[in-house]
Structure 1
Amino acid sequence: MTVPQDTNPGSTGFDPEQLWLRPAEPRRGRKPSFSREAITAAAVALADAEGLEAVTMRRVAAEVGAGVMSLYSYAPDKETLLELMVDHVSGELPLTTPLSGDWRADLKAIAHLQRDLMLRHPWLPAALSTRRTPGPRTLAFLERALAALRPTGLDGAARLEVFAQLTAFVAGHVTYEISQTAAGRSPERNAAEARYLAAVAADGHHPELAEALACPARPVTPEATFTRFLNRLIDGLGTD
């Protein structure tokens, strides 16, 4: 999924220092009746309901009852608005539960929190597919993840890489989950596919597949599948 471009012709591009380290102030005119937080929340609500394609400066302006040009004082372009949206929903990630000290268990818990967040906001995996500059809420969760990985003995750069790998795994898996739900495969289709694979496995030309299909069936609910894949990923992580 690509993010539609909807930018202010006068914008000079995304500036993380300007966005995250300086207060949001309107550039000129009287004080508006909306805020950066309200703009971001409206954009998130639109994306949740209709997808990222629906999020345009015009639509967001209509949601907050503002003129389009007045929004550019708070989000000068679509890229900046997307940065704000990602950080806004990152604030839903809980930070108060103490870490256990078992880095694998803590990392698995973090991954489940990420999955829950992405399922609540199905546009988030696509938004994360391009590089984002972490805002304050995102940084708070990143700090927790790095702390969870401290018992590994990995240096800071390696811990960042592990967290990036984990987030990419979660985003990819959630994208697959969402696509499968949208496809709405019928029981008849699933049964036909099972019969086909059984026939292929029995032809004598695919012994590896035959062995795999002969194994006991595993739970195929989204939660069970995610947990199984996650365990393999994290349990296989080394600390070298």
Structure 2
Amino acid sequence: MSSDGTPGTTGVDPAQLWLRSGEPRRGRRPSFSREAITAAAVALADAEGLEAVTMRRVAAEIGAGVMSLYSYAPDKETLLELMVDHVSGELTAPAPPSGDWRADLKAIAHTQRAHMLRHPWLPAALSTRRVPGPNTLAFLEHTLAVLRPTGLDGAAKLEIFAQLTAFVAGHVAHEVAQAAVSRSPDRAAAEARYLAAVAADGHHPELAEALSAPVRPVTAEATFTRFLGRLIDGLDTE
């Protein structure tokens, strides 16, 4: 049993999780639903971060005993799967596939970025998640349709979806961390002074040249768009 009272995890059975009702089948009518429990966990993660989500804390948020939650989510791993797919229900296809798969992929990535910025805990959650639920599968289906003009086989299309999602998640995690740094002017100024000193020490000529280049737009949106273009424009469909 874990430190928050969660029984040991043996892995999530996707058929058990997604193809069966989320409500207990026996006993008296339940006071809560899997949807309500998941929504409470998501609200907690949005407000305080993923580390705040424990079975005990979620139970307290909905006014239930912690043991009663195990009928709906037997462990935190399962709860995390439910949370990710719950918020994935917010994802909608930016537009029907246009035939320009690179442009469509970029639109998908921008949708994913906005989604992860609304739920900053998602990048960390996605790094350990393995079981796509119905909402995630709907978005995956759209992405596969976008990639149809490439002529790639199914495995390659799935790899591109995974690569794109990992890129967005990593970028958003970095973006959120940098936003926290920018809220500390003293720390940002100290880092700038350090880099200036390193660039001037004569031992890092490549870095000095790079730092002397014209400054590009540094808004979060412009930076993401620039990085995304390098990724998608460089994808090989051969």
Structure 1-normalised TM-score? Answer: 0.89
- Retained in 2: the 8 A contact 1:108–1:230? yes
Residue 167 of structure 1: aligned partner:
165
Query: Which deviates more, 181-190 or 72-81?
Result: 181-190
Q: CA RMSD in A?
A: 2.2
Give, as a single letter, the amino acid of the residue that structure 2 aligns with 1:228. Answer: R
Matching residue of 2:114:
116
**2:43 paired residue number:** 45
Amino acid at match of 1:156: G
Gaps of 5+ in 1: none
Q: Percent identity?
A: 82
Q: Hey, what's the Cα distance between the residues in 1 that align with 2:3 and 2:144?
A: 33
What is the total number of aligned residue pairs between the two structures? 237
Larger deviation, residues 78-87 vs 173-182? 173-182
- Give 1:215 deviation, angstroms: 2.1
CA separation of 1:27/1:77 partners in 2, compared to 1, >3 Å: closer, same or farther? farther
For residue 148 of structure 2, the aligned residue among 142, 147, 150 is 150
The match for 1:136 is 134
Q: Which residue of 2 is the match for residue 238 of structure 1?
A: 236
Q: Is it true that 1:103 corresponds to 2:101 in the alignment?
A: yes
The question of whether the paired residues in 1 share the 8 Å contact of 2:94 and 2:107 is answered with: no
Tell me the CA shift for residue 194 of structure 1.
4.2
Q: Deviations over 1:148-186 (max 9, x none)?
A: 111111111001101111111111111111111223355
Mapped to 2, the partners of 1:162 and 1:7 lie a distance apart of: 38
- Name which of 176, 192, 202 aligns with 1:178: 176
Equivalent residues in 2 for 1:1-240, closer than 5 Å: 6=4, 8-9=6-7, 13-95=11-93, 97-184=95-182, 186-187=184-185, 189-191=187-189, 193-240=191-238
Deviation of 1:64 after TM superposition, in Å, equals: 2.0
Q: Where in structure 2 are there 5+ consecutive unaligned residues?
A: none
How many angstroms does 1:23 deviate by? Answer: 1.1
TM-score (ref. length: structure 2): 0.90
